[in-house]
Chain A
Amino acid sequence: MKTIADAWDWLADASHWAGDDGIWHRLAQHLVLTVVCLVVSCLIALPIALVLGHLGKGGALAVNISNVGRAVPTFAVLVLLLLTPLGQYGEGPTVVALVLFAVPPLLTNAYVGMRGVDRGVVQAARGMGMTGKQMLLRVEAPLALPMIMNGVRIAAVQLVATATIAALAGGGGLGRIITAGFNLASTPQVVAGAFLVAVFALLVEGLFEIAERFAPSWARGSG
């Protein structure tokens, strides 16, 4: 109980929120890192998944990549990249490691969503004379949207969580508060940092939940 009170005191100290090592700065770093990685991952994974799903090819590939991705420790990838020439480019290794980590769930969910679209609807669209591109963008992708968004949500929450590992390799973000706490042997700071990261991850989860609730019914998959 004492540790929790101490952690609370640490959080309540205004000097811990300001400056380059402060909570606000670390939070901003964490947010930027997460958003950049999420956008890059989506730009890579979604077009591939949508086209593969439209063509109905490469399903085993999409699903297997996801399973392989689970077996590769992100921390190991990050450190390996750090020791390559890429390591000279600041946050470069972190972004690459996190993107590699976020692509599998995006790819799998979007592919499964595209294949789950009612074949009758697709054939009706073809009967109406739609081209492949029109079918993909106007029929299949909108109908697969709930599954695609589910993948984005999983990727976003896991990115927030995993971005903390960047701190182990000297990167920025909220994880830095935890690792700094370990180096200072300050349990209150470690617990306070962990609390902040956990709250941030749950907030992102909550945001997606709210967005889903307010989305038009067709985008929720229930309409």
Chain B
Amino acid sequence: MPPAHQATLATPAVDAAPPDDCLARNDWICGAYLDTRRHILVDAVVQHLQITAIAVAIALVIAVPLAVVARRWGWAAGPVLALTTVLYTIPSLAMFSLLLPAYGLSATLVVAGLVLYSLTLLVRNILAGLRAVPEETRQAARGMGYGPIRLLLTVELPLALPAAMAGLRIATVSAVSLVTVGAIVGYGGLGNLIYSGMNTYFKAQVLTASALCVVIAVVADVLLLGVGRLLTPWTRASRS
């Protein structure tokens, strides 16, 4: 059955595809691709979202204490900022490779790499936010009998929220696009589809996966913008 064999060459998984559909022609935009590979795309998107969300969440959990420490003890600020900046300078491909001995070929490896990248952006922004809290505000809170912990949790951190959210948005958008490089170890979410699409010259897959990456980044950015507004109602009140 030579015709069916030819169709399999161009479109590996669809044996029954008629030879003149967009998969066989290897078009950039292809509805049949979306129909036949929906589960593959959904799996890739889920992996992409999981890796991004877990990495940014862990980075946030580590960044807040680091920023607080750097704010409270001035001498700590220099080393903390220098270390996170150096980590940010290391190329993503190199970062994933350097962590390879520690984590092996796993999703944890990609998450660990992304955590280290997000740290720089988050620590810098949270620290800037904490430093921007007016001294009078802190003194007023102390005058009202607030202890250091209560001052931090109820006054300083909420006031640092806008700057922190700005950092979180940048970190998240960068992480979404960096996950694709994780394809080198097989855990790149949509990057896996781009990587395999490159090797098989499968245009529809590469374009669809790339477009989905950008859509995820934009949606995440808008969502975080909305969350930031909900969390800081006072910034809107003062603007109007």
* Interface residue ranges, A against B (CB under 8 Å): 3-4, 67, 70-77, 79-80, 82-83, 157, 160-162, 164-165, 167-169, 175, 178-179, 181-182, 187, 190-191, 193-195, 197-198, 201-202, 205
Question: In the complex, what's the smallest C-beta–C-beta distance from A3 to chain B, in angstroms?
Answer: 4
CA distance A77 to B86 in the complex (A): 26
- Tell me if B227 counts as interface (CB < 8 A to partner A): no
Contacts of A193 in B (CB 8 A): 94, 97
Contact across chains for B91 and A164 when beta carbons are under 8 A apart: yes
Q: Is B24's CB within 8 Å of the partner chain A?
A: no
CA distance A83 to B86 in the complex (A): 35
CA distance in complex: A73, B194 (Å): 11
Instruction: Let me know if A76 and B194 touch, CB within 8 A.
Output: yes
Min CB gap A196→B, angstroms:
8
Instruction: Mark each residue of chain B from 76 to 111: 1 if its CB lies under 8 Å from any CB of chain A, else 0.
Output: 000000000010011111111110110000000000
Contacts of A178 in B (CB 8 A): 93-94, 97, 184
Return the chain B residue nearest A161 by Cβ: B91
Q: Out of B90, B195, B210, which one reaches A161, CB within 8 Å?
A: B90
Closest to A164 in B: B93
Contacts of B206 in A (CB 8 A): 76, 79-80, 83
Known: A70-B217, A73-B214, A168-B195. 10 other contacts (CB 8 A): A3-B101, A70-B173, A73-B181, A76-B210, A80-B207, A157-B89, A178-B94, A194-B96, A194-B100, A198-B95
B131-148 to A contact mask, C-beta < 8 Å, 1/0: 000000000000000000
Contact B97 A190 (CB under 8 A): yes
B40 within 8 A of A: no
Tell me whether B210 and A165 are in contact (CB under 8 A). Answer: no
Given contacts A160-B91, A164-B91, contact A76 B209 (CB under 8 A): yes
Contact at B209–A75, with CB atoms within 8 Å?
no
Provide the residues of chain B in CB contact with A182, threshold 8 Å: 97, 184-185
Closest to A205 in B: B89
A196's nearest neighbour on chain B, judged by CB, is: B94
CB-CB under 8 A for A168 and B183, given A161-B89, A198-B94: yes
Closest to B169 in A: A67
Chain A, Cβ-Cβ closest to B176: A71
* Complex interface: chain B residues within 8 A of A168 (CB): 93, 181, 183-184, 195
Q: B152-160, B197-205, B228-236: which lies at the A interface?
A: B197-205
Interface flag for B180 (CB, 8 Å)? yes
Query: Quick check: A191 and B97 within 8 Å, CB to CB?
Result: yes
- Residues of B113-152 whose CB lies within 8 A of A: none
Indicate with 1 or 0, residue by residue over B48-74, a CB within 8 angstroms of chain A CB atoms: 000000000000000000000000000
Please give me the residue from chain A that is nearest to B202 by CB atom: A83
Q: Please pick, from B93, B173, B195, B217, the residue contacting A194 in the complex, using a CB distance under 8 A.
A: B93
Q: Are A76 and B98 touching (Cβ within 8 A)?
A: no
Flag if A181 contacts B97 (CB, 8 Å): yes
Measured CA separation A4–B210 after assembly (Å): 35
Whether a CB of chain A sits under 8 angstroms from the CB of B47 is no
A190→B95 CA distance, assembly (Å): 11
Q: Of B90, B209, B214, which is in contact with the most chain A CB atoms at under 10 Å from its CB?
A: B90
Q: Quick check: is B174 within 8 A (CB to CB) of the other chain?
A: yes
- The smallest C-beta distance from A54 to any residue of chain B, in angstroms, reads 28
Residues of B within 8 A of A73 (CB): 176-178, 180-181, 191, 194, 210, 213-214
Contact of B89 among A71, A83, A202 (CB under 8 A): A202
Contact A194:B181 (CB < 8 A) given known A73-B210, A80-B207, A202-B86: no
Residues on B with C-beta less than 8 A from A195 are: 94, 98
Is B22 on the interface with A (CB-CB < 8 A)? no
- Which residues between 178 and 193 of chain B lie within 8 Å of chain A, taking CB atoms? 178, 180-181, 183-185, 191
B218 at the interface (CB under 8 A from A): yes
Chain B contacts for A72, CB-based, 8 A? 177, 213-214, 217
Check if B94 sits within 8 Å of A75, measured CB to CB.
no
Q: Which of B91, B180, B203 contacts A162 (CB 8 A)?
A: B91
**Pair A75/B181 contact, Cβ less than 8 Å:** yes
Q: Does B170 contact A (CB under 8 A)?
A: yes
Q: Which of B101, B191, B203, B217 contacts A71 (CB 8 A)?
A: B217
Q: Which residue of B lies closest to A175 (CB)?
A: B93
| CB nearest to A185 among chain B residues | B105
